[in-house]
Amino acid sequence: MTAKLDPALLPGLLSQLPAWSLDPAASAISRHLEFADFNEAFAFMTRVALVAERRDHHPDWSNSYNVVDVTLSTHAARGLTMKDIELARFIDRAAAGV
């Protein structure tokens, strides 16, 4: 099992993820993304889904036309782990088209 992050590490890690919001009550981070249209949003989700499946770490997310809302937390650890930070980093790159 992946270890839950030490809360003392969160400010430093989250400073590298400025587009993400921490929800301490849910032990999760979330991000709201808007794309030009549904096709761009769906392409983004597909790219993330393929990586998430390879990593066996899946986001909680929703899509409405050009909007994608993503929440990350490691359910098995009941909180944030490096898996969430690493997937958030990938999501940021995918959203930027990198």
Looking at residue 25, its pLDDT comes to 87
pLDDT at residue 98 in the model: 66
Residues across the chain: 98
β-partners of residue 60 are 71
Mean pLDDT (whole number) for 61-81: 97
Q: Are 1 and 80 in contact (CB under 8 A)?
A: no
Residue-range domains of the chain with CATH? 21-95 (3.30.1360.20)
In 3-state terms, what secondary structure has residue 77? Answer: helix
Question: What is d(CA 68, CA 32) in angstroms, rounded to the nearest whole number?
Answer: 6
pLDDT recorded at residue 1: 64
CA distance 86 to 49: 14
Give pLDDT tens digits for 25-64: 889 999 999 999 999 999 999 999 999 999 999 999 999 9
Q: What is the dihedral of CA 49, 70, 15, 74, to 10 degrees?
A: -70
